[in-house]
A and B are shown apart, each in its own frame.
Chain A
Amino acid sequence: MSTVTDTPTPDSGGLAADTAVAPTRKAGARKLPIALGVLTALLAGILLRSAHSGDTTFQLAAESDFVTLPDIVVPSGPTAWVMVVVCLALTAEAVRRMLAHVRQPGWIPIVFAIAWMTGFLSWAAADGRIRLVSLLGGAVALAIPLVFGALGGVLGERAGVVNIAIEGQLLLGAFAAAITASTTGSPWAGLVAAAVAGALVALVLGLFAITYFVDQVIVGVVLNVLVVGLTNFMFRQVLTPNAESLNSPERLRAFPIPVLGDIPLIGPILFRQTPLVYVLYAVVAIVAYALYRTRWGLRVRAVGEHPKAADTVGIKVNRTRYRTILLAGAIAGLGGAYFSLVSVAGFNREMTGGAGYIALAAVIFGKWDPIRATLAALLFGFATNLQGVLSAIGSPVPSQFMLMLPYLVTILAVAGLVGRSRPPAADGVPYRQQ
């Protein structure tokens, strides 16, 4: 297998001839080492071009910790350079594994990401202070709509319906949550309304995509535009004139969980959040378990992979799909409540700002798996929060560049750092019965 044939192969340059004989010769195997190498070079380049002196303080403790962790103060420049060396070592390891045709383990990119981030932060925040709790805790909060949206996407696609309408579900969810919470005076009622609104968008999607076989991507996009138009109109005509009664909901307050919330570092990041985050934890756990370990999940996956096979064993394909996307819509809608009940109190036009599309990216980055999609959404949330944190401490990076960061991370992620991902076989294919 590894010997080059004597026969000349016309029309193929040296590179192609080389690679034709290696068993794992495709771009997939090289992707990781190349990406790591480029990122390492980028970090080193930044450090060379504009060296910063001074110390960087990493603050681990929140103000009200039970046990107070000490601050970590490091010299900015040297730390960054140490991290460059760590990154280089990891890159070298990845290259070695590529050449030896060994599988790249998952810890390499994770350790690399931490080292790179540490290096970058100690450079960017020279003479400043990075509050890890607010950096990571804020990331969790910002990721709420993304995670809800991504779960909605995963569920829909696992059942074979492409849910492009996540954006619309989030937006209508935010809208419904604001009105309902204002009129009833209860943010909890707002959450329920958000879920119902999301399901409503999903119902329309289902009607066109499942019952009338319309192209699912097109329906999804049209629904997103429709919801934007609808909520803009209602906002101007109804909400703005009656802002007092219709658009001033009570905000969901952070609710620290006793004991868990007192754990140093982890407590303030994960357990001093709003109730919506705790709902999120539960939803992620339930969806992940149910999809793989219950009859319901088995059937959902079956109709998404091979609907005809499911039909021949007596599963009602389209009914299963309807049910699943209604649930998916409800979950995504719940995420919409974040915008109008958690982030700020009240609805504003187009306040989701494309979060639904980022969630869609998280679905693909997460390979259609609820846990992985959640982690992907958290990554995107982190990128968003990082931008905020860095501009707050006055980092030397231009703010316009930082605003681009979350989307840049999304593109890089989806463009295939993940390696090959396989969608459900019947994703987006309507099922027709004879």
Chain B
Amino acid sequence: MRLVLRGITKRFGSVVANDSISLTVEPGEIHCLLGENGAGKSTLMNVLYGLYKADEGEIELDGEVQHFTGPGDAMAAGIGMVHQHFMLIPVFTVAENVMLGNETTGFAGSLDLEAASTRVTEISERFGFHVNPDALVEDLPVGVQQRVEIIKALSRDAELLVFDEPTAVLTPQETDELMEIMRQLKEAGKAIVFITHKLREVRAVADRITVIRLGKVVGEAEPTASNAELASMMVGRPVELVVHKDEPELGADALVVKDLRVTDLAGHAQVDGLSFTIRAGEILAVAGVQGNGQTELTEALLGLQDDVTGSIVLDGTELVGRSTRQILDAGVGFIPEDRQVDGLVPGFTIAENLMLNRSFRSPFVKNGNLRLGALREFAAEKLKQYDVRARDIDTLAGNLSGGNQQKVVVARELSRDLRLLVAAQPTRGVDVGSIEFIHKQIVATRDSGIPVLVVSTELDEVVALADRIMVLYRGKVVGIVPADTPRETLGLMMTGERPKDLKDVAS
């Protein structure tokens, strides 16, 4: 099926998310939409899928102009979408999810679950997906859930498949498998739109590349283009893709974690006997697929988990059993993984957010009263120093872009005398320019002799920042390896396998 988008414009209030975008996708081709977070890729695809209504422009499939009033119409027309956040119902089985909205029924609307199972098995076998139709979706690994999404689209005879940031949640191995699936689908004559901001993947599978920036098409590129070329098209200026850092100047052991165990409410050990050490002036990066204990580890360090055993010693002081406030006062800086939930109060101004970790005492509080003058001065200085793009310090944090919100968090956490920095997903959902800036700040922190723990599910980020890499799988350490360990090895370790000849490195 041939898709033509002509002059699609979509506005949200005064913001133009898509500005007259035109695009052609041929059958049997993988067409990459490359752009930063917030460039308008997902908006465009939601317009195509009937979730949003375009203000201007038209959608044409095989020469016919379409008027979608909802996703149902788009699906009927042969468009299938694999959403970034899976559109699956966790408590339903695979078969139920696949049949939903497209049910085969018998007498009085009774479900024909057998027919649905057969259909799932059929498609699953044709593409080698190995999906059990009777499994509950919530019990499946993320990679398999994604295949369920693909089966869902294929079961409705989709001819055009849209993959919206499909690799964000996958391990490197799963990503490779997905690429293989995409090639297979292409061979089968499907048209594929692949939305991403990861250059490596684009160059691996794309037949054609369209780059989008700030809601506009800024050009087309060949898959042979270099990373630097693609990145500068995407950002609009030359970008440093490599983090420059010197050899670490290691000090004494600063953070010593021994046999740390974190148990969740259901009684499962989420962190299961971790032991590691970080030296002063060193970055230890934690790699692993999301949900392998990283969140629990960082929260345990900050005293945010209830059920923790083992010991966490920072500069000789035991932190387990202390309150979060005592831990903050001991000099731990924390960039939480979800800034919207844990990092900021969206309804507070930038200035108010900047004092959240020092809301009890000087310099911003005296005898229980806020010292607004000191706060304003401080906030204005940080705004400039951390290049936060906002009108002024009274702008609500919730109104900032992702990158600027994160800079506020980073500014707050780095503006105290730190003895440890814990940075969880420091650049998730942040534009390339801000990533560069935040990475520099983290490296500068390390260079000033502070131990840093970075948690990231992006292998690129782990490799770029780490002095050593700790790979987690199901709450356990698979290995602590040097920063120059090959990506393939790291990817393998992220699935829990430990290469035989692997040697751990001590700090």
- Indicate whether A434 sits within 8 Å of B263 (C-beta atoms), given known contacts A293-B110, A313-B71: no
Bound-complex Cα distance A24 to B268 (A): 8
The reply to whether the CB of A308 lies closer than 8 angstroms to some CB of chain B is yes
Contact present for B265 and A26 (CB under 8 Å): yes
Stretch at the interface among A2-10, A125-133, A357-365, A389-397: A2-10
Inter-chain contact total with CB atoms closer than 8 Å: 111
* A311 and B90 contacting across the interface, CB-CB below 8 Å: no
With a cutoff of 8 Å between Cβ atoms, the chain B residues found around residue A308 in the complex are: 87
- Give the interface SS of chain A, mostly helix, strand, loop or mixed: loop
Tell me if B407 counts as interface (CB < 8 A to partner A): no
Q: Write out the residue numbers on chain B whose beta carbons fall within 8 Å of the beta carbon of A290.
A: 109
Give residues of chain A (295-332) contacting chain B, Cβ–Cβ below 8 Å.
295-296, 298-299, 301-302, 305-306, 308-316
Given A20-B263, A313-B71, A434-B51, A9 and B321 touching (CB < 8 A)? Answer: yes
**A25 an interface residue at 8 Å Cβ cutoff?**
yes
In the assembly, what is the distance between CA of A12 and CA of B307, in Å?
10
Which of B88, B90, B261, B269 has a CB less than 8 Å from the CB of A5?
B261
Q: A305-B92, A312-B51 are in contact. Are A298 and B321 (CB under 8 A)?
A: no
Give the docked Cα–Cα distance between A296 and B108 (Å): 10
Across the interface, name the chain A residue whose C-beta is closest to B105.
Answer: A295
CB distance from B316 to the nearest CB of A (A): 14
Q: Cβ of B433 < 8 Å from any Cβ of A?
A: no
Whether A5 lies near B87 (C-beta < 8 A) is no
Closest to B266 in A: A26
Q: Which of chain A's residues has its CB closest to B152's CB?
A: A313
Query: Interface readout for A197-234 with B: 1 if CB under 8 Å, 0 if not?
Result: 00000000000000000000000000000000000000
B residues in contact with A434, CB < 8 Å: 46, 51-52
Residues of A within 8 A of B263 (CB): 20, 25
Check if B309 sits within 8 Å of A5, measured CB to CB. Answer: yes
Which of B75, B263, B269: most chain A Cβ within 10 A?
B263
**Which chain A residues border B445 with CB–CB below 8 Å?**
none
Q: Is the CB of A295 within 8 A of B111?
A: yes
Are the CB atoms of B267 and A9 closer together than 8 Å?
no
Query: What is the CA–CA distance of A26 and B264 in the complex, to the nearest angstrom?
Result: 10
From known contacts A10-B320, A20-B263, infer whether A298 and B103 are also in contact, taking CB-CB under 8 Å.
yes
Does A63 sit at the interface, judged by CB under 8 A?
no
- Whether the Cβ atoms of B75 and A314 lie closer than 8 Å is yes
Q: How far is the CA of A425 from the CA of B88 in the complex (A)?
A: 12
Please pick, from A10, A20, A293, A311, the residue contacting B70 in the complex, using a CB distance under 8 A: A311
**Residues on the A chain within 8 Å of B236, using CB:** none
Please tell me which one of the listed residues A12, A22, A293 contacts residue B111 in the complex, with CB atoms under 8 A apart: A293
- Assess the A312–B111 pair: CB atoms within 8 A: no
Complex Cα distance, B83 from A311, in Å, reads 13
Q: What residues on B are CB-neighbors of A299 within 8 Å?
A: 100-101
CB <8 Å contact, B111 and A302 = no
A5 B267 Cβ-Cβ under 8 A? no
Contact of A1 among B46, B52, B96, B269 (CB under 8 A): B269
Chain B interface residue count, CB cutoff 8 Å, equals 48
Please measure, in the bound complex, the distance between the C-alpha atom of A21 and the C-alpha atom of B268, giving whole angstroms. 10
Could you say which residues of chain B place their CB within 8 Å of the CB of A310?
89, 100-101
B228 at the interface (CB under 8 A from A): no
- Which residues from B are CB-within-8-Å of A23? 267
Which of chain B's residues 50-77 have a Cβ closer than 8 Å to chain A? 51-52, 70-73, 75-76
Q: How far is the CA of A295 from the CA of B96 in the complex (A)?
A: 10
Query: Residue on A with the closest CB to B97?
Result: A309
Whether the Cβ atoms of B321 and A312 lie closer than 8 Å is no
- B295-309 to A contact mask, C-beta < 8 Å, 1/0: 000000000000111
Q: Does A294 contact B (CB under 8 A)?
A: yes
Give the Cβ gap from A422 to chain B, nearest Cβ, in Å: 8
Could you tell me which residues of chain B, from 250 to 264, have a CB within 8 Å of some CB in chain A?
258-259, 261, 263
Determine the interface band of chain A, counting residues with CB < 8 A from chain B. 35 or more
Identify which of A9, A22, A293, A298 contacts B320 (C-beta below 8 A): A9
Give chain B nearest CB distance to A59 CB in angstroms. Answer: 44
- Interface assignment of B310: CB less than 8 Å from any CB of chain A: yes
C-alpha spacing A434/B10, complex, angstroms? 12
Within 8 A of A (CB), among B265-299: 265-267, 269
Please give, as numbers and ranges, the residues of chain A lying within 8 Å of B484 by CB-CB distance.
none
Also in contact, A298 and B111, with CB within 8 A (given A7-B311, A11-B321, A20-B263) = yes
Residues of chain B contacted by A1 (CB below 8 angstroms) = 269
Chain B residues, Cβ within 8 Å of A305: 89-92
A423→B269 CA distance, assembly (Å): 25
Residues from chain A with Cβ under 8 Å of B258 in the complex: 7
Question: Is the beta-carbon distance between A309 and B88 smaller than 8 angstroms?
Answer: yes
Collect the chain A residues with CB atoms within 8 Å of residue B102's CB. 313-314
Quick check: B321 and A294 within 8 Å, CB to CB?
no
Question: Is there an interface contact between A5 and B310, defined as CB atoms closer than 8 Å?
Answer: yes
User: Out of A20, A296, A309, A311, which one reaches B307, CB within 8 Å?
Assistant: A20
Chain A residues within an 8 Å CB radius of B194: none
B11 to chain A, nearest CB (A): 12
Q: Which of B18-66 contact A (CB under 8 A)?
A: 46, 49, 51-52
**B212 at the binding interface (Cβ < 8 Å):** no
Q: Looking at the complex, which one of A7, A295, A301, A316 makes contact with B309 (CB distance below 8 Å)?
A: A7
| Shortest CB distance B163–A (Å) | 14
- Residue A314 contacts which of B71, B259, B307 (CB distance < 8 angstroms)? B71
State the Cβ distance, B272 to closest chain A Cβ, in Å. 9
A residues in contact with B309, CB < 8 Å: 5, 7, 9, 20-21
Is the beta-carbon distance between A295 and B109 smaller than 8 angstroms? Answer: yes
Please name the residue on chain A nearest to B87 by beta carbon.
A309
Are A314 and B101 in touch, CB under 8 angstroms?
Answer: yes
Q: Are A306 and B71 in contact (CB under 8 A)?
A: no
**Cβ-defined contact, B51 with A298, below 8 A:** no
- With A24-B267, A26-B266, A313-B152 known, 9 other A-B pairs at CB within 8 A are A7-B259, A295-B105, A295-B111, A298-B99, A305-B92, A309-B100, A312-B81, A313-B102, A314-B70
Complex A-B: 9 CB contacts under 8 Å: A5-B261, A5-B309, A7-B309, A10-B321, A301-B92, A302-B100, A312-B81, A313-B72, A313-B101
Closest 5 CB pairs of A and B: A314-B72, A313-B101, A11-B321, A10-B321, A309-B87
